[in-house]
Amino acid sequence: MKKQMAIIGSLVLAACLARAEAKIGYVDMQKAIQSTAAGKKAKTELETEFNKKKKDLEKKEADLKKMGEDLERKKSVLSEEVLSKKQAEFQEEMMKYRDTVGKSQVEIQKKEHDLTAPILDKMKKVIEKVAKDKGYSLVLENSQMVLFATSDSDLTDDVIKAYEKEK
């Protein structure tokens, strides 16, 4: 998929360069989003949510560790039947913990998407406006595909300023 995107990007770039008046710029989307007031608010909200979940998971992990240590200590004095039952309970709790970790990761990713999607939508409209106003025929995201660009091609700061002006 990345290879196809690179090929498509190269073809688009070649087509644009074929036109003498082509002006190409780029935007560091991560920097742009994180530099806006909305992006900072979303980041703070996400960090708060993440830290809350992390604290809960750390408590569950500590409880599991204690349970495992208790089981290990009592192992020699428990009957085989009781030991087997306790080990099964411990394994069940471990599985619940793993499920909880997985669900927490999914919830954090969903929350991140929910918080950043409206910012990204607005950012794309602002980028289009800035590009048109400045006469750019192509704007790329400054990702691994941009190997070199002059500083005057960087529209990131202009986009941040324009984003903050939009209400």
Selection from 79, 88, 83, 60 nearest residue 71 by Cα: 83
Give whole-number Cα distances, 42 to 50, 74, 80, 116, in Å: 12, 48, 53, 7
| pLDDT tens, the chain, 167 aa long | 555 555 555 555 555 455 557 889 999 999 999 999 999 999 999 999 999 999 999 999 999 999 999 888 888 888 889 888 989 999 999 999 999 999 999 999 999 999 999 999 999 999 999 999 999 999 988 866 777 878 888 899 999 999 999 86
Question: Following DSSP, what letter does each residue of 51-70 receive, concatenated?
Answer: HHHHHHHHHHHHHHHHHHHH
Q: Which stretch of DSSP H or E encloses residue 15? A: helix 2-18
The two tokens of residue 67 are 């349970």
- Domain ranges, ordered by start, for the chain: 23-165
pLDDT of 37 reads: 94
What distance in Å separates the CA atoms of residue 67 and residue 1, rounded to the nearest whole number? 46
Task: Reduce the DSSP state of residue 26 to 3 states and report it.
Answer: strand
CATH 3.30.910 fits 23-165, yes or no: yes
